[in-house]
Amino acid sequence: MGDSFGQLFRITTWGESHGGGVGVVIDGCPSGLPLSEDDLQYELDRRRPGQSKITTQRKESDTARILSGVFEGRTTGTAISVMVSNQDAKSHAYDHLKDLYRPSHADYTFEQKYGFRDWMGGGRSSARETVGRVAAGVVAKKLLHHWDKIQTIAWVEQIHEIKSSVDKHTVSENQIEASIVRCPDPEASFAMIERIHEVRKSGDSAGGIIRAVVRNVPVGLGEPVFDKLTADLAKALMSLPATRGVEFGLGFDSVTLKGSEHNDAFVIREGNIRTSTNRSGGIQGGISNGEDIDLRIAFKPTATINFEQDTVNRDGREVKLKAKGRHDPCVLPRAVPMVEAMINLVLVDHHLRNQKTQI
């Protein structure tokens, strides 16, 4: 089953969009790490629905409860269990979808695989499942900061055809959080918000790109062949709902260069081996090289739209569907903390694995 992720730092998420709640079990966290429900709440508030006028208006406080693995404010080294109750599940809003397959959703594939499906909000395929990922990402974030002061920061770089201009070397979390769309470029942020309002008003949706940078990365994270850091990061990010692509460094643009133009030359900087450029995005041979990890993640437009669409029902008849209910017209503003969480989960797992590579 695909409910678990990671090796030494392993998480298992559970729960459905319209069940009693959602959560996560975290295995492999070392003992002694300061951790509170308030730590979790900050990141969950960045992910929660209803946080602004451009997100779904489902009203969830997403209040986290730590059920195990923490005593007197510190992790015990045993499994950490976190639960978030569902408070505003309106299952009746999905009654009309019980016998229909929504275009570009997981309805048809889930039913074909398992023989039946949870039609209330998509069940496990709903983005509500990511609550557990974000909660676990908080623990990973705290560990990475404790070990190497590693900082993962992500922001919305593009929505539809509106692109931002941001200095990835200096952009800060405060700048990102100052915008409800989580784009630190004020001019682009305004245009993005307007575009989201436009598509919502028309009943449509929009996709875009999230940019992420990881700073203070040590040399040596990642393992050759099948557990390359690029491979594990790509898997982690592609497991998020609505993702369609991940690229590192210059990514697909690198195909327009020759090797002499793309190679990152080694130099000595402040007594350390560094690279003069970072076209490979901080990872070479699947292993971090000490430069910032630089990546971009593409998200498709939200599949739920208020347009009449062609579909089929469980009886095999072609029918029309006009979806009802609450949804994000653009998932990117709420996906920023999800991206950061998945990156941090991969990095902390590889950090723990790296501790056993040398004696």
Q: Is residue 37 part of a domain?
A: yes
Q: Is residue 52 part of a domain?
A: yes
Asked if 241 and 229 touch (Cβ cutoff 8 Å), the reply is no
- pLDDT given at position 194: 97
Instruction: Answer whether 0.85 is exceeded by the pTM.
Output: yes
Distance CA 57, CA 5 (A): 30
Distance CA 89, CA 58 (A): 8
Q: Is residue 173 part of a domain?
A: yes
201: which 2 tokens? 């008003």
- pLDDT given at position 1: 67
- pLDDT given at position 50: 77
- pLDDT given at position 93: 67
- pLDDT given at position 359: 37
- pLDDT given at position 116: 83
Distance CA 84, CA 22 (A): 5
Q: Is residue 359 part of a domain?
A: no
Q: Which domain holds residue 312?
A: 4-354
- pLDDT given at position 183: 98
Residue that has been written with the tokens 């040399």 in this structure: 219
Compute, in degrees rounded to 10, the torsion defined by CA atoms 308, 312, 317, 318: 40
Asked if 26 and 34 touch (Cβ cutoff 8 Å), the reply is no
Q: In this structure, how many other beta carbons lie within 10 angstroms of the beta carbon of residue 81?
A: 17
3-state secondary structure string, 122-188? CHHHCHHHHHHHHHHHHHHHHHHHHHHCCEEEEEEEEECCEECCCCCCCCCHHHHHCCCCCCCCHHH
CATH of the domain at 188: 3.60.150.10
Backbone angles phi, psi at 103, to 5 degrees: -55, 135
Q: In this structure, how many other beta carbons lie within 10 angstroms of the beta carbon of residue 54?
A: 21
Asked if 49 and 57 touch (Cβ cutoff 8 Å), the reply is yes
Assign residue 249 a region (left: φ > 0; alpha: ψ between -120 and 50; beta: otherwise). Answer: left
> Helix (H, G, I), strand (E, B), or coil: what is residue 115?
coil
Question: How many CA atoms lie less than 13 Å away from 277 in the CB half-sphere?
Answer: 10
pLDDT < 50 positions in the chain:
357-359
Counted domains in the chain: 1
Backbone angles phi, psi at 62, to 5 degrees: 50, 45
